[in-house]
Amino acid sequence: MPRYRLTLEYDGTDFVGWQRQATGRSIQQQLEEAIARFAGGPVSVIAAGRTDAGVHATGQVVHVDLQKPLPPFRVMEATNFHLKPEPIAVLAAVEVPDSFHARFDAVERRYRYRILNRRPPPVLARNRVWHVQHALAVPAMQEAASLLEGRHDFTSFRAALCQAKSPVKTLTRLTVREAADGPEGEEVWVEATAPSFLHHQVRNLVGTLVEVGLGRWQPTRMTSILAARNRSAAGQTAPAAGLTFLAVRYPGEEG
């Protein structure tokens, strides 16, 4: 059975998340049903990461096995045709060895969280940002973020329902900066890179960094939050709408 690697973009606003659920519409369900319409039977799609309800993606990677070989371009085109009008698109498709696994072979995942930092509410960026009206001190947030990089026990940033075997993760990079485009200081980006993440880890990190940006907490508080190993020690869980799964890297690929 030929295996294909697909790169996806999607708007997660109206979905229960990536994974199939007993009720509600999921990205996985819509994609599997679209592929099945031209593949001649049911298929199972495996993703690099399971995004939550309301979370978006510009570089999600999945793999799928088909009953018969098809040109990758045709797989992409046919899938996109049958996905209409869902806000999901296949950006690229390549045939890969059957040893390739979208989830287990990934060596790095990258997320971006967008914060709209202005008084007026979002219009064009609605369902894409967290609207924080009060001014954020980006340098203080970056100072705090630097203390969270590296290998730590991230229990304080872990969701109660997280199924990971261990709370110890390596946060390769955590940066806070003003957006590269748009009015100066209006949008703040928090970008996180790691081999893997705990459930809600990025959103909990962002919620904590915003406390620093608002001047409520000092950057050095991150050290004690990590040491507490208690979810109540950290900040709130940032809304899902601001989070986007940017990219996945595999062995031999550049970062």
pLDDT, tens only, 132-171 = 999 999 999 999 999 999 999 999 999 988 888 999 999 9
Question: Which domains, and CATH codes, for the chain?
Answer: 3-96 (3.30.70.580), 108-249 (3.30.70.660)
Region 109-121: mean pLDDT is: 96
Confidence at residue 160, expressed as pLDDT on a 0 to 100 scale:
87
The answer to whether residue 172 scores a pLDDT higher than 80 is yes
The answer to whether residue 181 scores a pLDDT higher than 80 is no
Confidence at residue 252, expressed as pLDDT on a 0 to 100 scale:
83
The answer to whether residue 41 scores a pLDDT higher than 80 is yes
What is the pTM (predicted TM-score) of this model? 0.95
65 is an active site residue: no
Catalytic residue among 52, 65, 105, 153: 52
Confidence at residue 254, expressed as pLDDT on a 0 to 100 scale:
78
Report how far residue 155's alpha carbon sits from residue 137's, in angstroms, rounded to the nearest whole number: 26
Handedness of CA 177, 185, 213, 248 (dihedral sign): negative
Residues with Cβ within 8 Å of 144's Cβ and at least 6 positions away in sequence, in order, are 208, 209, 212, 217, 219, 220, 221, 222
Residues with Cβ within 8 Å of 249's Cβ and at least 6 positions away in sequence, in order, are 106, 107, 108, 109, 110, 255
Confidence at residue 1, expressed as pLDDT on a 0 to 100 scale:
87
DSSP string covering 47-116 = ESS-PBTT-EEEEEEEEEE-SS---HHHHHHHHHHHHTTSSEEEEEEEEE-TT--TTTT--EEEEEEEEE
Report how far residue 40's alpha carbon sits from residue 84's, in angstroms, rounded to the nearest whole number: 19
120 vs 116, 151, 179, 224, CA distance in Å? 9, 38, 17, 35
Report how far residue 185's alpha carbon sits from residue 54's, in angstroms, rounded to the nearest whole number: 25
Question: Residue 75 — very low, low, confident or very high, per pLDDT cuts 50/70/90?
Answer: very high
Least confident stretch, 62-76, 82-96, 158-172, 229-243: 158-172
Residues with Cβ within 8 Å of 55's Cβ and at least 6 positions away in sequence, in order, are 12, 17, 240, 243, 244, 245
Region 105-109: mean pLDDT is: 97
Confidence at residue 185, expressed as pLDDT on a 0 to 100 scale:
66
Q: Number of C-alpha atoms within 13 angstroms, CB side, residue 222? A: 26
Burial 15-44 (b: 16+ CB within 10 A, else e): bbbbeeeeeeebbbbbbbebbeeebeeebe
Confidence at residue 184, expressed as pLDDT on a 0 to 100 scale:
65
Least confident stretch, 71-75, 86-90, 135-139, 162-166: 162-166
For the CA atoms of 151, 156, 157, 163, what is the dihedral angle to 10 degrees?
Answer: 90
